[in-house]
Amino acid sequence: MPGLKHEKLCAAPVAGVDEAGRGPLAGPVVAAAVILPARGVPRGIDDSKKLSASERERLCARLHDCAIVGIGIVEADEIDTLNIYWATMKAMTLAVEALAQAPAHVLVDGNRLPRWGHTATALVGGDAKSRSIAAASIVAKHTRDTIMLAHAETHPAYNWHSNKGYGCPHHLRALREHGPTPLHRRSFAPVAAAYASLDLSLSRNTPTA
């Protein structure tokens, strides 16, 4: 499980930052920033991908109770405007800015850092190396999953309660059959193709003078 080796090398307080939702065809990209408490850190914090949904839900609730948490959300329309890379950087920035306490150092999962004024370190595979980043990965993943479950109620055809907006076969089939929703990312190739197909179908069905 991720430890505190990297946190101990930095000035305190240290915030871990991670994101969820770079790859899906629909929904927002969500980032979280977490400053863990000196004592009382919940047991079981790990890379969110290694945890079940129920474990993430439990740990996310505990982290909101004991840690300092900030969340940043960038919606699909802004992802299309910025592109997914810069939308992710913005979500991370918003998450750190949402912290109730300014961090002295920020540990970020990945190999790139947002353009901000914070002293920070990028850690490739950070969610498996840093407990703070792993905590952020749990909060980001659970927050985004909760958002997509709510959207699944409004758009049941796309099976978001299961795929959370990722391009699984059921989702792709629904995209072809029903077309995109306002929550789809127009700049992503399968969604762009669905829009193009819809435009072509409309043009064929438009009466000519």
User: Which residue ranges are tagged as binding site for a divalent metal cation?
Assistant: 18-19, 109
β-pair partners for 30: 20, 73
Residues marked as binding? 18-19, 109
Q: Give every strand in the sheet of 68-74, ordered side by side.
A: 68-74, 29-35, 14-20, 105-109, 120-123
Helix 53-66 and helix 131-154, axial crossing angle in degrees, nearest 10: 120
Check if the beta carbon of residue 68 is closer than 8 Å to that of residue 77: no
Could you tell me the two tokens for 41? 């850190």
Buried b (16+ CB within 10 A) or exposed e, 174-209: bbeeeebbebbbbebebbeebeeeeeeeeeeeeeee
